[in-house]
Structure 1
Amino acid sequence: MPSYQLTLTRKHTVAEDTLAFYFEKPHDFSFKAGQCARLILIDPPQTDGEGNGRYLSLASTPDELELMVATRIRNSAFKQVLSSLEPGAKVTLKGPYGDFTLPEQPPKSVVFITGGIGITPVRSMLLQAMAEHYEQPMTLFYANRRPEDAAFLDELTQACANSAHCTLVATMSKAQQSSLSWQGEQGYVDQAMLERYLDDLSAPVYYLDGPPELVAAMKKMLSQAGVSEDQVRTEEFAGY
């Protein structure tokens, strides 16, 4: 797999305890929306048992001029060193990897169900589909505890508001603990919520990603609702 040296150009907070990192994109690097890459720290001052690299989804679209990844900042050595990097820092990238991507032949409709930082590949796919004038209906169910935890929520809300083909359904399980006013859906994504926004649950192709427990719960729910297994694509994000 090809290896590239990237230069960090900027970073900023996209949700509470969540940072987005932007890198110069090598001229010969290409990927499909939804894919991931392995980001490797170069001679970090600390490391841990998992080594100096992690697989991270490419949250940027293939058409954007920079490569962008976003991650929750936790106490692991990798995350702490990554969060401390300043513009000009170098990292190594290997990839791209993965087939959690939209098909070449667009299905009749697409539904994304994700939670937390699982939004990163979905951001890439959704915005790329819009850039390519995707005319099939797309619905994004995006679950978080509070609005403060929802990375890219404002950006995606605006993007879907400007598209005749996209519906964003954001839901918060602990909205009462937020310092922000929340007027949207509350609770977890379930069959009743899907039925409020989808005319026929059996029609779309579903993309599920996020924590393993969320993916497993959504797969079970869709199966019980009569959705064929071959209409479901999954990607699990372990070790946030």
Structure 2
Amino acid sequence: MAGYQLKLKRKQQVAEGTLALYFDKPDDFSFKAGQCVRLGLIDPPETDDEGNARILSLASTPAEPELMVATRIRSSAFKRVLSTLMPGAELTLKGPYGDFTLPAGPARELVFITGGIGITPVRSMLLQAIVENQGRQMTLFYANRRPEDAAFLDELTQACGADPHCTLVATMSQAEQSAQHWQGERGYVDRAMLGRYLTDVTRPVYYLDGPPGLVAAMKSMLVDAGVAEDQLRTEEFAGY
């Protein structure tokens, strides 16, 4: 697997506690939407038992000129150092890895169910499918506590609003604690919510990612609803 050395171009807060980092894409680097990379710090001022590198999903699409990752800023040494990096800082990258990617077959309906930072590979896949104009019907169920916690929410709302094949269903479990006036769905993604937006729950291919508890709950719900397990693609995001 090829290795690269990158320079941080810029960083941006994309939600409360969530940071996006942008890099120039190496000329010979290619990836599929939804894949991940191993991003490493070089001689960091502090480290921990997990080492100086982490696996992060690429939130950017293959069609975009930059590479972008986004991550929750936690209390680990890796995250603390990452959050303090300034433009020009050098990092290492290995990859890409993973098969949590768009299907290559016929244009079957896709449903993404994600929460929190699980939106990163979904942003890549959904926006890439829109760019490629695949004609797939796509529905994204995106769960967060508050709108302030939802990375890329405005961008995805605009993208789906401009594409007749894309539906975004954002839902907030603690909307009453938001400083914003929330007019969308409230509560958790459940079978009733799916039924309000999907003609036949058993037909689509589902992409489930996010915290392990969310992935397990969604998988169980869908299997109980009659969805075949070979229609489920899953990826878990454990905290670190």
Structure 1 segment 108-123 matched on structure 2, within 5 A: 108-123=108-123
Residue 157 (structure 2) aligns with: 157
Shift of 1:24: 1.1
Cα distance in 2, alignment partners of residues 106 and 175 from structure 1: 38
Q: Give the SS at the match of 2:47.
A: coil
Structure 1 segment 131-146 matched on structure 2, within 5 A: 131-146=131-146
Taking structure 2 as the reference length, the TM-score comes to 0.99
Structure 1 segment 15-54 matched on structure 2, within 5 A: 15-54=15-54
Residue 213 (structure 2) aligns with: 213
Q: 4+ residue stretches of structure 1 with deviation over 6 A? A: none
- How large is the RMSD of aligned CA atoms in angstroms? 0.6
Note the residue ranges of structure 2 that are not aligned, 5 or more in a row: none
8 Å contact kept, 1:17–1:72: yes
Cα distance in 2, alignment partners of residues 221 and 201 from structure 1: 11
Residue 226 (structure 1) aligns with: 226
Shift of 1:140: 0.1
Count of residues in Structure 1 that have an aligned counterpart in Structure 2: 240
Cα distance in 2, alignment partners of residues 176 and 12 from structure 1: 26
Instruction: String of CA shifts for 1:71-118, please: whole Å, max 9, x gaps.
Output: 000110000100101111100000000000011114420000000000
8 Å contact kept, 1:15–1:149: yes
Residue 99 (structure 2) aligns with: 99
Cα distance in 2, alignment partners of residues 12 and 121 from structure 1: 18
Taking structure 1 as the reference length, the TM-score comes to 0.99
Cα distance in 2, alignment partners of residues 217 and 128 from structure 1: 27
Q: Which letter maps to 1:52?
A: N
Cα distance in 2, alignment partners of residues 200 and 107 from structure 1: 16
Cα distance in 2, alignment partners of residues 14 and 134 from structure 1: 28
Cα distance in 2, alignment partners of residues 193 and 17 from structure 1: 28
Q: Give the SS at the match of 1:26.
A: coil
Instruction: String of CA shifts for 1:151-197, please: whole Å, max 9, x gaps.
Output: 00000000000001000000000000111110000000000000000
Q: Give the SS at the match of 1:215.
A: helix
